[in-house]
Each structure stands twice: as structure tokens, then as C-alpha cells.
Amino acid sequence: MLRGFYTAASGMLAQQRRQEALSNNMANMHTPGYKADQGVMRAFPELLMERVEANQFPAGKGLHVPLHKEIGTLNTGTYLQETIPDFTQGDIRETGVATDMAIINGDLPDENGALFFTVQNEAGQQRYTRNGNFTVDGQGFLVSGEGYYVLDQDGNPIQTGGMEFNVSSEGVVSFAGNEAALGIGYTPDASEFVKEGNGLFRAEGEIADARETPGAEFTVRQNHLERSNVDPAKTMTEMMNTYRNFELNQRVLKAYDQSMDKAVNEIGRVR
């Protein structure tokens, strides 16, 4: 009976964490370039239950022969193993703002490949994002909405000197007679990226330059932004199913509690 407590409780915890991930997706539904998290549920190892008994044969030494009879498997609960971002490209919308940019994926050499803008966080480390909601700071540098420097192909901050600049379809920023190519990173396996918040991803290994990767095709569109890839209708449906599953585990836990109460206070009562 105590094992049933743990199984039902693990189901409640797993559904609670899945609900948190879905709620975060809904909260970022309008965040440009946001990639929805997908929860991966996994079961704890199942136990094979057997009944062990012994038959006594008529012998002088009282010989006992153990017999094993298989009863079946016992599930020991589930847990949310991890949340994996869905790197499917979101819809592209026009904003009319010159500092807004969107990467449109073309043909990529790898099935799980993905393209990202390259930025520099407050610690001076390179990070990657699909959020092209950029602006120009007081010093004339192109920065993200959180104030991170947008880097060029050589890993240097881009100094535009103001809002008057153009971006070609190849991602080349032209301003005051100068040019700087946006840093576009490419990874053959986006699942190796780690989400850090604020739309940033950290790469576990080396990220290639998309322009130097054979078969990696893309287009940068100025005055446009990539929407998040959150499907509101699907997410709401999943949230309702998750809530119902949480309630079912809660009822099971309550039933075990009532059974335990009877076992302790009624069946085990000494009169």
C-alpha cells in the first residue's frame, strides 16, 4: 500500500512539472523567436513480482522444495525526465521596424540543423538566439532587447552609429559606407543546445559559421520578426489533460489514504 502512495505521488509531481513547462510556453506565446518546451515523460523501472512458496515432501529430513509463481509487473511511477525545446521555425510577421530581423531557414544539410543569431551576454560569452527584436543603444551598437551585443561574423559587436542602416538578404548590415556581416551560427543538432532564459541558448560544442557550412541556406529579412512556435490551442488542450491526470493521481492518493486509515483505526483496533 505504501508503494501505491509513492506511485501516485510521483505521477502528481510529474504532471505538476509538465504543467509548469506548458504554462511557461503560454506566457511566451508572443515572445519573438521563442521555442516551445516539450516535456519528456519516463517511467521508473518496473518490478517483476513473484510468489515464493515451498512444498514439503514426505522425507526423513523434512525436505522443502521452493516454488516460484510469477504474478506480474508492478509500475513504480513516472517522472518528467527533461524538457526539450522545439526548434521548428515560427511564422514570420512584418513589423516595419528597421532594427527587427528574422532568419528564414532554407535547405539545411542536417535534419535537426538550426540557425541562430550570435550575441554576447553580460559575461562576454557567445550565446545564440532566434529573437531578432534588436535595437541600437546609446553608443550606436546593435543590441538585443536585453542589451546583449549582436556580433558580426568575426565575433565583434556591430557599431551602426544609429538607426539608419540596411540589411541584405545575406545578412550584411550596411551603414555609413561600411559593412558588417551578421554572425549566423549553424548547428547540425539543435538538441545539444541548452536554454538559459531571455531567449538565449548555450552551445555545448563548437558552432559553425552558417556561411561556411556547405548546404546551409538561409535568408535574413529586415523589418520582420519570427513569432514564437507555440500553438495556443494545442497547448491549452495539453494543459487541460495534464490537470485531469493530476486530479486522477490525487484521487488515487486519497483512496490509499482512506484505506490506510481503515487499516490503522478499524482493522487494527484492539478491543
Q: Which residues are 133's β-sheet partners?
A: 100
3 state SS of 238:
helix
| Dihedral sign computed on CA atoms, order 23, 28, 30, 34 | negative
Q: What is the pTM of this model?
A: 0.78
Look at 74-78, 162-166, 172-176, 177-181 and tell me which has the smallest mean pLDDT: 74-78
Angle at alpha carbon of residue 167, lines to 161 and 168, rounded to 5°? 150
Angle at alpha carbon of residue 19, lines to 18 and 21, rounded to 5°? 65
Average pLDDT of the chain?
A: 85
Q: What is the mean pLDDT of residues 58-76?
A: 62
Neighbours of 218 (CB within 10 A): 19
Percent of the chain residues past pLDDT 90, beyond the cut: 47
pLDDT tens digits, 231-242 = 999 999 999 999
Position 44 scores a pLDDT of: 67
